[in-house]
Amino acid sequence: MTDDIQGRAPLRRRALAAAILASGALTAAQPAAAASVTIGAILPLSGLFSTLGPPERDAMQMSIQKINEAGGFQVAGQSYTLTLKVLDDESNAATVGISDYRQLVGVDHVPVLIMTDSTRAYASMFRRFPVPVLNILDSTWPSILDVDPNLFLLRSDTPAYVPGGVWYLKNVLHADRIAFIGSAADPYSGGIEHWVQQAAAAYGVTITADLNYPAGTTNFSPFIESAMAGKPDAIYLGGVTQEVLPVAKQLYQAGIRNLPIVHDSGATPTQAEQIIGPSLYNDVMANNYDFAGTLPQTSTSPATQAFYKSFGQSYNEYPDDLTMWAYDAPYVVIAAMQKAGTVTDQSAIYKAMLTMPVPPQTISGWIPTSSGALFHERDARTLAEGTRWCTATKTIAPAFLYFLDGLKFTHQDVVANGCAGQ
């Protein structure tokens, strides 16, 4: 379960040599050996949310390795390397996750903790063992930021991207009637459901059916049947990848093959192939549209493009939105520590995070506040992106880039021929 990334020995010597040379004086006050700072992460490496944990861990390891190989980082004149300690919550916050939290915060005393799912379950723990928390992904409605003031979210919250899917259905796919099928087991789905309802009311779309299947459902036929009874033009699915794709597969197997299927799970082609099956997935995904955060492949920034290529090569995984935010998380931690001038004082690090600017080495494309801060009331924001499936190349391509202020678009860019650019 534990996954330690240590700075390698040659690095320490290199950092030491560099520090001695840099100091110039022969009588240094103390030897500038690179100590290691360990930050903690609780990730779902297994279980229902296991499509999230491994890519996040890999992306964080990638940037940490890059940072350490370049000599680490400096805080208040001292050199450090960064170490990440990852514990698996097995997608089970109340049982495994909570004991992981106790370990990392209560025993290991990490200065910063990184999390990604089921945040609400930890409410009591945040009060008993407080620590600054960077959450990579957990967008819900109501927001997790209401749970505890020590939480920061590295991506735009649910209301910032879900309405885009409804708008696209109405105005690009010309679907006026949608059926919603969501997972009662998952607050992510519940948040999507709420904002689909809000957006439908605002953009003039009728919701013909609003269904939620209970936890542990493997046979969706009653829900599919109820959804189709109202003769919708499209189907909106709520939940994460491992909830959404099995429903999409059963829709296809039930003969429903020419309705748009819209969701917000951020599924990658690799996951589609594994969950739906190699012989079926290309056909099942043909009518899929997925609305979440921006993908690295659509970015015009060279650094982001470089990340897209090297992540795909190194990890044989499709780099999507969450890999960018995870990759950037260590940079946020380091920048906060540098601003605060400490690697251990949690309170100072927290205050620094509240007002820190967007760190220059980050690739997520975070849009700063009007005063130049990274976090808009503890939420870091990017553009939102809708993608479509390309059957010729069996992969995803951009369809819609946008930014929402409430239910109004301040940026709206429909990409007509995303597949052609591959």
Partner 1 sequence: MTRGGLTYPALCVLGILLFLALQYSNAFYSGIIASILIWTVAVSGLNVVAGLGGYPSLMQGGFYGIGAYASTLALNDGLALPLAILAAIAVAAIAGLLVGLAFARTRGQYFAIGTLFFGVVVNLVLTNGASLTGGPLGLSVPLAFASTADLNIAIAASAAAAMMLVHAIGRSRIGRHLTALREDEDYAEHLGVPTGRMKLLGFTISAGFGGFAGFLIAQYNGAISPDLFNYTVGFVMFVALSLGGAARLAGPLLGSALIVGVPDLLNLPSGAGMLLVGIVFVVVIIIAPDGLIGAAQSLAARLRARPAPAR
Partner 2 sequence: MILQALSNGIVLGALFALLGAGLTLVYGVMDIPNFAQAGIVTIGAYLMVALAQGAQLPFFLAVLIAVAATAALSVATERLAYRFVRTRPLAAPVVALGLLLVLDNSALEIWGGDHISLSPPYAASVLQLGPITVPGVGVAVILIAAAALAALWALLRHTKMGRAIRAVSQNPEAAAIIGIDLERQYINAFLISGVLAGVTALAYAPTYAVFPYMTDSVILNGFVAVIIGGLGNVWGAAIAGLALGLVESFGAVYLSAAYQTLIGFAVLLAVIAVRPGGLFTGGARRIA
| Residue ranges that bind partner 1, judged by CB under 8 A | 1-2, 46, 88, 90, 92-96, 98-99, 102-103, 106-107, 118, 120-125, 127-128, 184-187, 214-216
Residues that bind partner 2 (rule: CB under 8 A) add up to a total of 35
Contacts of 108 (CB under 8 A, 6+ apart): 38, 40, 85
Phi, psi of 19 (to 5 degrees): -65, -40
Q: Taking CB under 8 A as the rule, does residue 391 contact partner 2? A: no
Interatomic CA distance for residues 250 and 392, integer angstroms: 23
**Interface residue with partner 2, options 39, 275, 285, 322 (CB under 8 A):** 275
**Interface residue with partner 2, options 96, 134, 162, 211 (CB under 8 A):** 211
Q: How far is the CB of 241 from partner 1 (least distance, A)?
A: 17
Q: Which is nearer to partner 2, 224 or 335 (CB)?
A: 224
Give the residue from 365, 375, 420 showing the smallest Cα distance to 398: 420
Which option in partner 1, partner 2, none does residue 391 bind, with CB closer than 5 to 8 A by kind?
A: none
Which option in partner 2, partner 1, none does residue 98 bind, with CB closer than 5 to 8 A by kind?
A: partner 1
CA 7 to chain centroid: 26
Sign, CA torsion 366/119/327/395: negative
Phi, psi of 137 (to 5 degrees): -145, -20
87 strand-pairing partners:
42
Alpha helix locations (H) across 118-240?
A: 123-128, 162-171, 187-203, 221-229
Report the greatest alpha carbon distance in the chain.
82
Strands 261-263 and 234-237: parallel
**Interface residue with partner 2, options 71, 142, 246, 357 (CB under 8 A):** 246
Sign, CA torsion 240/327/410/352: positive
Q: Taking CB under 8 A as the rule, does residue 270 contact partner 2? A: no
What does each C-alpha distance from 288 to 57, 240, 265, 291 come to in angstroms?
27, 14, 11, 10
Which option in partner 2, partner 1, none does residue 312 bind, with CB closer than 5 to 8 A by kind?
A: none
**Interface residue with partner 2, options 42, 104, 276, 358 (CB under 8 A):** 276
Q: Which is nearer to partner 2, 136 or 275 (CB)?
A: 275
**Interface residue with partner 2, options 70, 123, 229, 306 (CB under 8 A):** 229
Radius of gyration of the chain (CA): 22
Q: Of residues 28-87, which lie at the interface with partner 2 (CB under 8 A)?
A: 46-47, 50-51
Which option in partner 1, partner 2, none does residue 94 bind, with CB closer than 5 to 8 A by kind?
A: partner 1
**Interface residue with partner 2, options 250, 270, 361, 412 (CB under 8 A):** 250
Give residues in contact with partner 2 (CB under 8 A).
46-47, 50-51, 90, 184, 211, 213-214, 216-219, 221-223, 225-226, 229, 242, 246, 249-250, 252-255, 274-280, 283
